[in-house]
Structure 1
Amino acid sequence: MRALRVVGLDDDGKTVILEDPARGERFTVPADERLRAAARGDITRLGQIEVELESQMRPREIQARIRAGESVEQVASAAGLPTSRVERFAYPVLLERSRMAELAQRAHPVREDGPDVQTLGEVVAHAFGLRGQDYAGTNWDSWRGEDGRWVIQLRWQAGRSENRAHWVFHPGAQGGTVTTMDDLAADLMDPNPNRTLRTVRPVTELAKQALALEAAEHPAVPAEPAARRPEPEPAAPPKSRSRAKSKATAEARTEPEPRPAAERTKPAAEQPPPAPEPEPAAAKPQNNGRKSEPAPRRGKKGHPIVPSWEDVLLGVRSQRG
């Protein structure tokens, strides 16, 4: 690496002229922010400029995302930067989050009758003692929400499940106050409920083997499907009911009255015979004052007698036949 000396600024004032004293060669360097920070010896500013040039995420945005609850690894993955460069800007914000979590443990939980005398840390430690869990294995954290309030988180392991309880921290006099945000936080605030809490212990390898052996000896039998119940018949609408009722009433009215039992058991011989129906009178001929005309004469074979020409001309009727 050759050593160069500064000759001066170019005529435009934006370029620095450098010269190699051994060979007399000259070089130009842009007079930008990086050169000014290097001339001042501001290493922090040089790192910020490097991040701004290599990534689209500015240092202020990195700190804002860390303050909102993201981890260094998440921000580094989103920005496409090494973790070491993100930690440089995340370190002061992580200290702020840790400080707020400590202050929240000294705050007083808000109950129905007002703030509690005990602090949040004391109440949670007492609840863990009643449950037989290790309070030393818990992890406190905090971050600032979108509404500007600080959210406090308590994370602990119970058996195979990882639990998280959240509170909202309100800084103020006498340590401030905290209010619950979920059911787990509410359960920790009331360590003496009516139901007894079961102590959860870690599952050992021997217990795992026993469970596997029991499952192999007693396989699960599929449950038989339940018999289908017959569906009830739909009830008749009100109109059809009224029609059926009126029809039954009409039939009851038209039904003949029942005869006495003595008449029903009387033999057929004792019953009087039915009266003979009168024969229709023969129709009498009506003359109306006219003489009855004789019936036309017919021959031996029943054919009518045809008059001869003489009878027709003379106007007489012959006596034939």
Structure 2
Amino acid sequence: MQTAYLATEQALSVNRLKAPFSPAPPSPTFPPITGILAHMSELRLTGKTPDGVHIALTDNEGGEYTLRISDMLRATVNQPRLTSVPVTDENEVMSVKDIQRRLRAGETMDSIAREGNISVDKVERFAGPILQERIFIIDQVHSLSPRRDGKENGRDSLTFLEIVSSKLAPRGVDIDSLDWNTWRLDDATWTIELHYPNRDGLGSAQFSYDTHRRAITPLDDNAAWMMGEEAPVRRIEPGLIYAESTHPSRAAERIEPKEPIRIDSAPIRSIASSLDDLPDNDPTDEDFEAELSRETPRLVSIRETPAPGDKQDGITARAKVPSWDEIMFGQKPTQEPSSD
């Protein structure tokens, strides 16, 4: 039995030698992972280099490094990240949607934080997209050519910013000193507000911008003057007093004295001479006396004679109501008793 086992082992050895020899490929060698982590250093950003082309970095041991500010680096840093909206606390009554809605309506971050009982940092986290949207609306209005009488403007028409500059620059207003602001109303239109320096301190003008129709409409006298349109009709509301608004155009207005009106006396003399030629149709004194002799209606006296009880306790009787003749021709004198 042992002899059979040895014979079988020899046969297998012969078969191995006859088979084609194919050495196994060498396995790739990788450095241990622990070695890579061991040689990595944490770098901290310290700022830009004096030339402004690189950023300066330092490690924990004080070593200094520089990294070139390339387009790839900018794209990597500015790549938007998807962040989950944090769940609001039960005690907080203002949601993220409410914060952004109030920011879009023009409210400040401090007022939103104060009224919502939240921190200003939380409001700032959601203010970035809204502030960029408001800046975009202002830039869009600046480059827009306002329509005239509902017609499209040509390519050579002035933009809105050029129109405003042409009105303010001749009056010494620096274009760089203009302050623009905007906010959105509930009807999806935007209010554009402009502040500019003037002799009284600071002037303002408001415009309405419709993003769908791309139309700009003045909302006050100053805005209408800048766009060369008529002032909008004011809606008088009870309890409000509207004062006359002032704008730089009034500085150029001058009140010129009016010329005296001359009246030609020739037509007047002609009319007077025509009246003199008319026949005299005035009634005579006889006609007037005959008219008076007719019976004239009289007012009925309520009490012409005092009642017996009118004079009591030293109180005289009531005054007699005058008749119609006495009203027209005066009271007759009291007849004196005869001396017979």
Whether TM exceeds 0.5 here: the answer is: no
Greater RCO between the two (CA within 8 Å, min separation 6)? 1
Greater Cα radius of gyration, structure 1 or 2: 1
TM-score w.r.t. length of structure 2: 0.41
TM-score w.r.t. length of structure 1: 0.43
